[in-house]
Structure 1
Amino acid sequence: MPAPISEEQSRLDRAALLDAAERLFCERGFQAVGMDEVRAASGLPLKRIYRLFAAKEDLAVAMLKRRDRRWRGSLAAHVEQVPDPRERVLAVFDWLAEWFAEPGFRGCVRVNAHGELGSSSEAVLAEVRSHKRAFHDQIAVWVHAAGAPVAEPVLLLAEGAIVTAGITGDPAPARHARAAAATLLGTP
């Protein structure tokens, strides 16, 4: 009988599995990637994978949740180091420009997940909507602190820049959206 798996080993296996799934799902999409590919990329046996996540959908949702925490945390860390509230809002677009310029940028994995699975997976749809609400709320806090009643238009500029950059492969939409947001916020 094999030795029981420690909590630490479970944590490491889960992280390796989520890393592999994220890389594959982001590069190739959710439906195109089979669990055998996830197994090969993670180095974990399928039996272990299915003990950690009962279904591919569960793995996808866990990956989206983990990526959301990391993505929004990185954005907040960048934006909140800017002292001026108006410039803090504009820093959102500076951060987006850096993200868009990263090698392998393929757009928002949540938008991609919604396009692939949103109509067939309630769990994925719920996670995508949760991320979008949280991103909205983050933007709204920063815009309101700048004293401008334009949270919705600023959010739409950010979301539009993300989708456009993902499709075109060009980081310029962040710069264009930043200029439009500056206009909406008015002169300091």
Structure 2
Amino acid sequence: MNQSNSSVRRMAALALLIAIIVVMSYTPLGYLQIGPIQMSLLTIPVAIGAVVMGPTDGAILGGVFGLTSLFSAISGRSAMGTMMFSINPFACFVVCFVARVLMGWCTGLIFKALQKAMPKKEKLSCALGGLLAAVLNTVFFMGSLVLFFYQTEYIQNLVSALHVSNPFAFVVVVVGLQGVLEAILCCVVTCAVSVPLRKIWNK
């Protein structure tokens, strides 16, 4: 495939995945409200893009995911996001946007490393890429949330309500079973979609 056709194909694939992320962000499929925090399945199209198209496009898709999260915070759709934005808009930008860009980029880089380490295990690499996308999303989002907002009155009230005594316990309790299920779902769907897509993409 020549460079022109390759660029057109890349732009078309990016546009499709961006559209999926935007549509998911406005439906129950995108954000699941679990108590005070929104658990997201938008990691799935980001992971698929990062695995099939590479770290740069993973970062772009992560950025789109981050923008939808930031919009939820600004518009009041997310109680925790609105709290973060009202206290520190810059820190809210880091938590909502930068964390998701890093997630998409790192997922693509890790998948490339897995490919080199296990060249004959495409399915396993795709599955691990999906799993790690969800894990990285949780680590970057919750890590930056704790870094910037753990000492705020809102989070401390949650800490008291959840009966936890330190940031690590807070993250574990907030993420909980839902985070595990999100990671498993992202792993399964990313593998199921990415394996056939990569065969087409690499022709």
Work out which of the two has the higher radius of gyration on C-alpha atoms and give 1 or 2.
Answer: 1
Q: Point out the structure with the larger helix share.
A: 2
How does the TM-score come out when normalised to structure 1?
0.44
How does the TM-score come out when normalised to structure 2?
0.41
